[in-house]
Structure 1
């Protein structure tokens, strides 16, 4: 009876040690996968930051080359207006939201408007 209990105790101890080793190996593999995901995410973030930095530099070069100077408030205002326009807000709604005259919004979005009703204008003029 004693030898049976001792044998079972030794077997359970061996199985416990084996289980701990397998668990630590699995944890190491999972940790390595997490590290690899973190590294790839950081590389993507760095690439995006480089792209944004390059776009900012390109914007500065274009602004300097064109000689067209805007204050930061004017630039933000134009960006917001164009964003609303690109999201299909009407010019009247944009003017109402920004509390400016419709003519000012029309001047800002004029270069970005697509000719939609060209055929109708010709028919009406004739």
Structure 2
């Protein structure tokens, strides 16, 4: 009887050891997978940052070549106004929010205004 209990205890200790080794190996594999995902995400983030940097440089070159001189405050103001317009704010609400006359907002947005029924005019011209 004692030998049976000792055998069962020994068997359970061996199974516990195998279980611990297997879980250790599984955790190493999982850690490697997480590291691979992390590395690929970091590469993608770096790639996006490089693209953004290139776009910023391209914009700077275009602005310099066009001879447009805008202060940083004016650029920020224009960016905010255009962003609000593209998020479907009305010109009146943009003017109210920025505390400027509506005519100034309209002039600023004139190159960006969407012309409605533009396709109909071209189709009827034929």
TM-score by length of 1: 0.90
2:44 is the alignment partner of 1:44: yes
Q: How does 1:15-94 map to 2 (within 5 A)?
A: 15-94=15-94
Shift of 1:25: 1.0
CA gap of 1:18–1:102, structure 2 versus 1, over 3 A, is same
Instruction: State how many pairs are aligned.
Output: 119
Q: How far apart in 2 are the matches of 1:90 and 1:117?
A: 19
Shift of 1:114: 2.2
**Structure 1 counterpart of 2:115:** 115
TM-score by length of 2: 0.90
Q: How far apart in 2 are the matches of 1:55 and 1:62?
A: 10
**Structure 1 counterpart of 2:123:** none
SS at match of 1:6: helix
Q: Which runs of 4+ in 1 moved over 4 A?
A: none
